[in-house]
Amino acid sequence: MSRQMIVGNWKMNGLRESSRELVAALLAGMPKTGPDVVICPPFTQLALLADSLASTSVGLGAQDCHQDPSGAHTGDISAPMLKELGVSHVILGHSERRQEHGELDETVREKAVAAAKAGLTPIVCVGETNDQRENGDYTDTLGWQIKGSLPDGFCGIVAYEPIWAIGTGLAATEAQIAETMTFLRQELVRQFGEAGKAIKILYGGSVNADNAVAILSIPEVAGALVGGASLKADAFLSIVGAASAG
């Protein structure tokens, strides 16, 4: 198995003191050899944690960026701004951004282009609703999301997060994950040719210390995008420990 990646998405959590404490605990327990690890705190903690992570093996990621490098976009953060802070990865198109902020595939695609241009690795999220899963429409949904959200020449990372499993405590079954991962790989190859074989696909959606070993052993799962469990050092380190170092 190739080297996997574990990404912690803190979402809208973390003040200065708690963020420092969490990172200190993570660094203290991080294995000397293991998967690639990236943590994605809220924007307000990026500069603070960049110094703590600068000389470590843990990467710093952001949870979003704007598609323009600068301009009159009140409240937004550009990819070059993130790069200047020491950020290496950026999550784009998370279902919470799509649902709460009305982000379309086209918007996510533009952001992915901007991120890559600034030297960041985009982690583009795709996933279906429970209705789409139950109706059997999920493959069409995922196929269109890939086509609409990933730009030509995409060389970032895809994160598959079934919307019905995010923050619900209900992870997809191993069979569901395996079937969907196989479809996603086939779709990436269909749309991007040989390059589609090399795009990492992470799984996200209620990944925790109890199910990480099983999920990370599924073929085509190149790692995990972890939400709630990334806010607890012991739980996140257990997931890191379950991942392959290649």
| pLDDT tens digits along 149-173 | 999 999 999 999 999 888 777 778 9
161 carries an active-site annotation: yes
96 carries an active-site annotation: no
- Cβ atoms of 239 and 212 closer than 8 Å: yes
Which of 96, 103, 161, 220 is catalytic? The answer is 161
CA-to-CA distance for 9 and 77, rounded, in angstroms? 17
Which of 66, 94, 96, 187 is catalytic? The answer is 94
Kindly give, in sequence order, each residue whose CB lies less than 8 Å from that of residue 46, ignoring residues fewer than 6 positions away: 60, 62, 82, 85, 86, 87
- Ordered by where they begin, the domains of the chain are 5-242 (3.20.20.70)
Angle separating helix axes 138-149 and 105-117, nearest 10 degrees: 40
In angstroms, what CA-CA distances link 215 with 81, 113, 135, 200, 243? 35, 30, 24, 15, 10
Please check if 147 is assigned to a binding site.
no
Please check if 102 is assigned to a binding site.
no
Please check if 241 is assigned to a binding site.
no
Please check if 9 is assigned to a binding site.
yes
Using the predicted structure, report yes or no on whether residue 245 has a pLDDT greater than 80: no
Please check if 167 is assigned to a binding site.
yes
Tell me what the mean pLDDT of segment 41-66 comes to: 97
Q: What is the pLDDT of residues 60-92, one digit of tens each?
A: 999 999 999 999 999 999 999 999 999 999 999
Using the predicted structure, report yes or no on whether residue 1 has a pLDDT greater than 70: no
